[in-house]
Amino acid sequence: MYRWDFLPVLANADLLLQGLVNTLAVTGTALAFGIPLGLALALARLSGRRWLAWPAGFVIEFFRTTPPLVQLFWFFFALPVLIRVEMTPFMAAALTFSIQSAAFFAEVFRGGIVSIERGQWEAARALGMTPPQSMRRIILPQAVKRMIPAFMERAIELMKTTTLVATVSYADLLFQANEIAQKTFRPLEVFTVAAGIYFTVILLFSLMARQLERRLAVSGESTVH
C-alpha cells in the first residue's frame, strides 16, 4: 500500500504558486492580444474584399486546424532561426497562444456578428449610418453580448492549453510540478496537487461563466425585441 506524503509538496508551495502566477500571465497576455486580433481577423473575413477575406480565412483555419503544440514548437524552435531574434519561452508562448486564440475568437466574433438580424443593419443604414458606423454602434454591441458565453469557454480552453508551455521550459504550474516531482521523488502527490489546483481555478472560472450566462439569459437583453 502506497503511503501518501504531501509534506514535500507543501514545502515547495511557493514554487507552485509562482507557477500558477506564470500560467495566469501567459493566459492574460494571450487574451489581451488574441481578442483584438480575433476581432480584426473576423472583420477582415467578413469584409467581402477577397484580398482581405482570403488571408484572414487562411490564418483562422490554419491555426484552428493544426495542433497547438506543433505551433508552439514552430514559434519557439523555428522562428528564431528565420528572423534571428532571441526567443524566450514566454515570448514564444505569448505569440503562439495570441495568434491561436485569435483564430478561435475570430470565429466567435464572426458567429456573433452574423447572428444579428438583417433588420438591425437595415435600420442603421436607413438612418444614414455608414457600414463602419452600423458595425460599431449597432451590430457589435449586440453581438458581443451574445458571444460572452462562447468567449468565456474559449478563455478557459486557452488556460488549459497554456500547459503546453511546460514543454518549452516556461516555468508555468505544470513545469514547476514536474521539477518538484523530480526533486522530491513524490510525483503522485505533486501531480495530484497540481491537477487539483488546475481543477479548482478552472472550475471557478467555469462557474463564473455559467453564472454570467444565466444572468444574461434572465435579463432578456441577450435576445432581440
Partner 1 sequence: MAEPLLRTIGLRKSFGEREVLRGIDLSVAPGERIAILGASGSGKSTFLRCLNFMEIPTAGSVELGGRMLGAERKRRDGGIDRVYAEPELTRVRQRVGMVFQQFNLFPHMTALENVMEGLRTVKGVKAPAARERAMAELARVGLADHAEQYPARLSGGQKQRVAIARALAMDPELLLFDEPTSALDPELVGEVLGVIRSLAEEGRTMLLVTHELGFAYHVATRVIFIADGEIHESGTPDEVLKHPQRERTQAFLARHREFSL
Partner 2 sequence: MNYQWNFAAVFEHTDALLHGAVGTLRLFAICLVLGLSLGLVIGLARYARHRLLNWPATAFVEFFRNTPVLVQILWFYFALPMLVPFEISPLMAAALGISLNSAAFSAEIYRGGIQSIEPGQWEASRALGMTGLQAMRRIILPQAIRRMLPALTNRAIEIFKMSTLASAVAYVELLQQGKLIASLNFNPIETYSVIALVFFVFLFPLVRATYALERRLAKGD
Footprint on residues 121-160 left by partner 1 (CB under 8 A):
122-131, 133, 137-138, 141-142, 145
Question: Cell 495566469 belongs to which residue?
Answer: 24
| 123 is a site residue for partner 2 (CB under 8 A) | no
Binding mask 135-174 for partner 2 (x = CB under 8 A): ---------------------x--xxx-xx-xx------x
Select the binding partner of residue 128 from partner 1, partner 2, none (C-beta < 5 to 8 A, by kind).
Answer: partner 1
Cell of 53: 477575406
Select the binding partner of residue 161 from partner 1, partner 2, none (C-beta < 5 to 8 A, by kind).
Answer: partner 2
Nearer to partner 2, 64 or 136 (CB): 64
85/76 Cα distance (integer angstroms): 11
Select the binding partner of residue 18 from partner 2, partner 1, none (C-beta < 5 to 8 A, by kind).
Answer: none
| 73 is a site residue for partner 2 (CB under 8 A) | yes
| 114 is a site residue for partner 2 (CB under 8 A) | no
Query: Is residue 66 within 8 Å of 190, Cβ to Cβ?
Result: no
DSSP sequence for the chain: ------HHHHHTHHHHHHHHHHHHHHHHHHHHHHHHHHHHHHHHHHSS-HHHHHHHHHHHHHHHHS-HHHHHHIIIIIHHHHH-----HHHHHHHHHHHHHHHHHHHHHHHHHHTS-HHHHHHHHHTT--HHHIIIIIIHHHHHHHHHHHHHHHHHHHHHHGGGGGGGT---HHHHHHHHHHHHT-HHHHHHHHHHHHHHHHHHHHHHHHHHHHHHHHH-TTS--
| 119 is a site residue for partner 1 (CB under 8 A) | yes
Total residues contacting partner 1 by CB under 8 A comes to 24
Select the binding partner of residue 68 from partner 2, partner 1, none (C-beta < 5 to 8 A, by kind).
Answer: partner 2
| 48 is a site residue for partner 1 (CB under 8 A) | no
Binding site for partner 1 (CB under 8 A): 117, 119-120, 122-131, 133, 137-138, 141-142, 145, 220-221, 223-225
The residues of the shown chain that bind partner 2, judged by CB under 8 A, are 2, 61-62, 64-71, 73-74, 77-79, 81-84, 156, 159-161, 163-164, 166-167, 174, 177-178, 181, 187-188, 190-192, 194-195, 198-199, 202-203, 206
